[in-house]
Amino acid sequence: MRVGDRHFRAVWWEDGPVRFIDQRLLPHKFEIASARSYAEVENAIREMGVRGAPTIGVMAAHGLAIAARDGEKIEHAYGTLQAARPTAVNLRVGLDAVMSHTDSPERALEAARAHDDAEVSAAEAIGRMGVELMSQGTRVATHCNAGWLAAQDWGTALSLIYRAERDGKMPHIYAGETRPRLQGSRITAWELGQEGVSYEIVADSAMASLMRRGLIDLVITGADCIAANGDVANKIGTYPLALAAREHEVPFYVAAPLTTFDRAVATGDEIPIEERSPDEVLTAEGVDAAGDSVRIRIAPADATAINPAFDITPAGLVSGLISEAGIVPASTAGIERAFGAAA
- Enumerate binding residues for ligand MRU (CB under 6 A): 51-54, 88, 144, 146, 150-151, 156, 183, 221-224, 234-235, 309
Choice between 53 and 175, CB closer to ligand MRU: 53
Rounded (10°) angle between helices 157-166 and 105-130: 60
Strands 261-262 and 232-235: unpaired
Minimum distance, C-beta of residue 55 to ligand MRU, in the bound complex (Å): 7
Whether 217 is catalytic? no
CB 188 within 8 A of CB 175: yes
Distance of alpha carbon 148 from alpha carbon 58, whole angstroms: 13
Distance of alpha carbon 279 from alpha carbon 285, whole angstroms: 11
Distance of alpha carbon 218 from alpha carbon 70, whole angstroms: 48
Choice between 80 and 221, CB closer to ligand MRU: 221
Distance of alpha carbon 122 from alpha carbon 128, whole angstroms: 10
Choice between 187 and 228, CB closer to ligand MRU: 187
CB 115 within 8 A of CB 97: yes
Residue 91 sits at the vertex; the CA angle it makes with 265 and 335, to the nearest 5 degrees, is 40
Q: Is the Cα dihedral 323, 327, 331, 332 positive or negative?
A: negative
Choice between 109 and 147, CB closer to ligand MRU: 147
Minimum distance, C-beta of residue 253 to ligand MRU, in the bound complex (Å): 13
CB 95 within 8 A of CB 102: no
Minimum distance, C-beta of residue 87 to ligand MRU, in the bound complex (Å): 8
Q: Could you say which DSSP state residue 186 is in?
A: I
Choice between 72 and 153, CB closer to ligand MRU: 153
Which of 22, 224, 262, 311 is labelled catalytic? 224
Provide the 10 A C-beta neighbour count for residue 5.
Answer: 5
Minimum distance, C-beta of residue 91 to ligand MRU, in the bound complex (Å): 10
Minimum distance, C-beta of residue 181 to ligand MRU, in the bound complex (Å): 7
Minimum distance, C-beta of residue 79 to ligand MRU, in the bound complex (Å): 20
Cβ-closest position to ligand MRU: 222
Choice between 142 and 229, CB closer to ligand MRU: 142
CB 229 within 8 A of CB 195: no
DSSP, collapsed to helix, strand or coil, labels residue 4 as coil
Enzyme catalytic residues: 224
